[in-house]
Structure 1
Amino acid sequence: MDVILMVVASIFMVVFLSHMFFYWYSRSTEMFGHPENQKVNCYLSEFDFAEKHKIVIHASPEKVFAAIHNFDMRKSKVINTLVFLRSIPYRLNSNREPDKQLPTKLSIDQLTENGSWILLEEVENQEVIIGFAGKFWQQRPTNIQLSSAADFINFNQTGYSKVAWNLYIERNDDGTATLSTETRILCLEGRAKSSFRLYWAIIRPYSGWIRLEMLKMIKERAENH
């Protein structure tokens, strides 16, 4: 019993410290509202939860757009560690499917190519929007296979959630570019919202930290290539 209490206490401590560190880490990244002209509004204009960040990049929108498609998330030790931590509940499931071979490179393009996400729309040198539907808060996540942007818009199955995630580039007058990212989640009735709320309370710091790290990786690539 003492061991169990220690494990539970350790988990709560890790979650608490993760929240504290996330908010400290994100102080340099301003939270903000999005312009109405962003295409992500066409796919998920109403949502229950959201995570938003932005960063200024000393490069042209063209270079930022190229960096979005070419940066490699697998090169980040932070992202690799956080993705592993997020997968622990699934790994503890004795009925889980065998682990798949992890790709040596992981980019936005590969997320859509492997079927886990779908490309909703892309505006050259301005915006990329990808989407996902499923029950990703479960110990054994359920992923809905969508084949088109129309499938994403029309999907309305009770008990599931839809996620729209964009990367948006704004050209600044001083020659820099502002890259913003927003993740929107819509819960489709049933128990989806209450289930996701608990999941989000735990996972939000890790999810936000991953996105902050991605923005910094894109910035580094755009400014140095």
Structure 2
Amino acid sequence: MSGLAGTFVPRPDFGSRHQTVIPAPVEAVWAAWQEMEQAGGEGWGPIVRALFTVRRQLGRLKSGRGEVPEEDLRDSFLLLAEDPPREMVRGIVGQWWTMGAADGRPDVTGPREFLAFDEPGYAKATFSMRFTADAATGGTRVVTETRVLCLDEAARRAMRRYWRLIEPFSSLVRRMMLSRLRKRAVA
């Protein structure tokens, strides 16, 4: 699956994909997803918030900065494309392996800047959600995909080390997010 995400990161260096089938119509699952997004950190649940807090605190300790504001997926990831109720793609440009020292580029403010950005030492990532009718069950197949493109070999090496550390937690977050979405959509 790449869908709209493939427009922004066509050939990822790193990625993960998770899916589930939810016994509800596409429109209901999309609406539940929108509710989760609108709820921000509260919509993700306590365990996911705790994982983000740990990452934020590690970044604070490593960078020597004082208090780091709480992250919100909507604030850190730009909306790059949306095709309701079928697909949504968010993106970010950063150096996540620095653990908070360079999480996003303020000059990347939309899809055009995201596509054009090519500064060495950085990576571009997309997070997408795709909702399709599942003919076999009558429900909705939901697929979440993370795609990361490194802009030079140094970034790729750094991201490889970081990915080995973070990918199991990232996958856990995605599975928990899908589980929470299922509960909300069928409630």
Once the two structures are superposed, residues 78-127 of structure 1 have per-residue CA deviations (whole angstroms, 9 ceiling, x without a partner) of 21222223234213236214332x48xx5xxxx33x3x211111001100
The change in CA–CA distance for 1:42 and 1:139 in structure 2 (over 3 A counts) is closer
The within-5 A match list for 1:55-94 is: 55-71=20-36, 72=39, 73-74=41-42, 76-93=45-62
The answer on whether the counterparts of 2:63 and 2:101 sit within 8 Å (CA) in structure 1 is: no
The answer on whether the counterparts of 2:56 and 2:68 sit within 8 Å (CA) in structure 1 is: no
| Alignment-derived partner of residue 112 in structure 2 | 150
| Alignment-derived partner of residue 182 in structure 2 | 219
Q: 1:67 deviation in Å? A: 1.1
Distance 1:154 1:119 in 2: 16
Distance 1:122 1:193 in 2: 28
| Percent sequence identity over aligned pairs | 28
Structure 2: gaps spanning 5 or more residues? none
**For residue 202 of structure 1, what is the amino acid of its counterpart?**
L
Distance 1:94 1:188 in 2: 23
TM-score by length of 2: 0.89
Structure 1: gaps spanning 5 or more residues? 1-33
The within-5 A match list for 1:16-27 is: none
Question: How many residues are matched?
Answer: 180
Rg larger for: 1
Distance 2:141 2:148 in 1: 23
**For residue 79 of structure 2, what is the amino acid of its counterpart?**
L
Measured on the aligned residues, the alpha-carbon RMSD in Å equals: 1.8
| Alignment-derived partner of residue 95 in structure 1 | 64
The change in CA–CA distance for 1:148 and 1:94 in structure 2 (over 3 A counts) is closer
2:129 paired residue among 145, 160, 167: 167
The answer on whether the counterparts of 2:60 and 2:100 sit within 8 Å (CA) in structure 1 is: no
1:208 paired residue among 166, 171, 185: 171
